[in-house]
Amino acid sequence: MIKITLPDGSVKEFEKNSTPMDVAKSISEGLARNVISASFNGETVETATPLTTDGNLVLYTWNNDEGKKAFWHSSAHVLAQALEELYPGVKLTIGPAIDNGFYYDVDFGDQAVSEKDFPAIENKMLEIARGKHEFNMRSVSKADALSYYKDQGNEFKVELIENLEDGTITFCDHATFTDLCRGGHIPNTGYIKAVKLLSAAGAYWRGDEKNKQLTRVYGISFPKQKELKEYLALLEEAKKRDHRKLGKELELFTFSAKVGQGLPLWLPKGAALRERLEQFLKKAQQKAGYEQVVSPHIGQKELYVTSGHYAKYGEDSFQPIHTPKEDEEFLLKPMNCPHHCEIYNAKPWSYKDLPKRYAEFGTVYRYEQSGELHGLTRVRGFTQDDAHIFCTPEQLDEEFKNVIDLVLYVFGSLGFENFTAQVSLRDPENPDKYIGSTENWEKAENAIINAANEKGLNYVIETGEAAFYGPKLDFMVKDALGRKWQLGTIQVDYNLPERFDLSYKGSDDKLHRPVMIHRAPFGSMERFVAILLEHTGGNFPLWLMPEQAIILSLSEKYEKYAEKVLNLLENDEIRALVDNRNETIGKKIREAEMNKIPFMLIVGENEEKEATVSVRKHGEGDLGSMSVKSFADLVNNEISSNLKPFK
């Protein structure tokens, strides 16, 4: 007999070689019908995997992220089988699950696949799925695995296998199909009831532009047709909210091939939006005791070698800038923190001076692959709302909690109410990925977990997701469409103070190392604006809108009164403009609605006579007639209810 511990702490005994599905059946038939994946002692297993030792078992359904991952990974296998049957001679490479669905990278040779072929591929996938073929894992020797794919002429799989160790290689079989695979599948293909292929795009083998370009086919699948319909409706809404589309329509930003890929140009309205976001955070930071600093866009290569960023980002950075002086090299800065370390190092400090909190909206540069660039969410030049706190170990807990308060204030002011926190720790199995001592890592990780507990955050722990220099607390925000975004990060760092030889004089008159906290509530201005655009659909909080009101005159006779209303609103610091065009009032209203201007003020004979405005609210309609002062109070009250001062 073996003892199986379940997530609720209960322990049950089963015969050796019982499977996760046997355990599910012992709990309830309903659970057994819904279980699609499992993990045993932290390792992903099949529902049919024999369990031979005592251990901890977690059963996953479609409602768990891990369950969806197994479902979509299994669907990628079905896609691969369908492509092999429909396009003989194709070479399969990799097919993972992703956040929403799956993809498979394929070398189609002389053949081609486009969206017009998707219905036939989907039908073939569903035909395979209806066969209810079981997914069976088996171990294969390295020699046999290499022989199998060499016989197929698949150099991609051969390359993957050559990098694996003998004894760790497994194949997955279902129906007549075999694939190199680590595991994690649903019980059989019959669980897949609905499939949709979403797009086909070019993708370089292993993400390297020097390698062959493959075709990446994206898809998604569901256990019910109804869920697919709901997802496709969500996709349509997401298209309407695409920040690239809205950014163009609202005249916020643009890109230029002459300027370069991944380098956004902010138009006047977008620049004003950014400025308001900056001033909003600067005001809160000032109350929280931050000091503003400015650092250059470049630094000597040695600066980033010292910090470790050159080893981490060197290949992904722009090439070094060579000066007329021999052997002198500069880099476009990939991060602001090395510069801030040197600002701290500009003078000696006492424990009485700490903490020092340096903040900067600093622009950094990384050479992202062209295929990975995407609007404002993935760019080559971006501005971080960066700050670095240098404190004593005794101050760390309080400082970290204060940063959490600031991040939560930012989220609340901008309408991000639905979020979870993620504590990202190092991977103890891969110490070479990180810099610094194990002792310092343990202190830093414990500090983050303690602060998250004291603040009552709803958090999960993710091992292996830490930055190379320290653990971090990331905030995962759900937007209006239910999508998850990583927004806001706080990191504890014992390593950069060591590498830059930072110090302060303690009460014992000896020199000590400060602890460093990295934080960026927005993350980057570019990505934050993109997410905010898609979350709000361009209907920003009123305090942030480029124009809060537009005055629509019924005819040129009322232009002077419209200008008078504008002046009164400007006195109340309300951003407004006048539309005096010779167009119908209906057209003016429609265009103001399309431009998402929150309020439309219509002025004509009655309004001029009574010194009022007729007010319409975007998306709601008429609010009636009121004085200009009453309207200004309405706007300012709405702003003050959403934008509380930081305390």
CB of 473 closer than 8 Å to CB of 420: no
Q: Give the integer Cα–Cα distance in Å for 157 and 398.
A: 51
Q: What does DSSP assign to residue 380? A: S
Written in H, E and C, the secondary structure of 396-461 is: HHHHHHHHHHHHHHHHHHCCCCCEEEEEEECCCCCHHHCCCCHHHHHHHHHHHHHHHHHCCCCEEE
Largest Cα separation within the chain, whole Å, is: 93
Could you give the CA distance from residue 154 to residue 164 in angstroms, rounded to a whole number? 16
Burial of 521 (0-12, 13-18, 19+ CB in 10 A): buried
Distance between CA 597 and CA 589 in Å, rounded? 10
Burial 61-98 (b: 16+ CB within 10 A, else e): bbeeebbbbbbbbbbbbbbbbbbbbbbeebbbbbbebe
Question: In the annotation, is 337 catalytic?
Answer: yes
Whether 480 and 535 have beta carbons less than 8 Å apart is answered as yes
User: What kind and span of H or E run contains 588?
Assistant: helix 585-594
List, in sequence order, the alpha helices (H) in 250-395.
268-287, 301-307, 309-313, 337-344
327 is catalytic: no
- Give, for 363, the enclosing helix (H) or strand (E): strand 356-365
Catalytic residue among 386, 474, 479, 579: 386
Q: Strand pairing partners for 579? A: 552
From CA 102, how far away is CA 220, in angstroms rounded?
Answer: 6
Which among 241, 518, 527, 535 is annotated as catalytic?
518
Contact 627, 612 (CB under 8 A): yes
Catalytic position from the list 174, 366, 527, 596: 366
- Strands annotated E in 142-227: 170-174, 177-180, 194-204, 213-222
Query: Which is it for the CA torsion 92, 93, 97, 102, positive or negative?
Result: negative
Is 426 catalytic? The answer is no
Closest CA to 288 of 387, 186, 181: 387
Query: Other CB atoms closer than 10 Å to residue 507's CB: what's the count?
Result: 10
Structure tokens at 367: 């050479």
Identify whether 393 is preceded by a cis peptide bond (ω within 30 of 0).
Answer: no
Q: Which of 77, 472, 588, 618 is catalytic?
A: 472
Q: What's the CA gap between 391 and 471, in Å, rounded? A: 17
DSSP H/E element including 32: helix 29-34
Phi, psi at residue 131, to the nearest 5°?
A: -75, -10
Residue 640: alpha-carbon gap to chain centroid: 30
Pairing of strands 55-60, 37-40: antiparallel
The pairing of beta strand 253-254 with beta strand 291-292 = unpaired
Q: Which residues of 284-299 are buried (b: 16+ CB within 10 A; e: fewer)?
A: bbeebebeebebeeeb
The structure tokens 């167009």 sit at: 583
User: Is 384 annotated in the active site?
Assistant: yes
Q: Which entry of 339, 388, 588, 596 is annotated as an active-site residue?
A: 388
Task: From the candidates 172, 181, 337, 391, give the one annotated as an active-site residue.
Answer: 337
Of 392, 331, 337, whose CA–CA distance to 360 is shortest?
A: 337
For 167, the token pair is: 């004894």
Q: Which residues are the active-site residues? A: 337, 366, 384, 386, 388, 472, 518
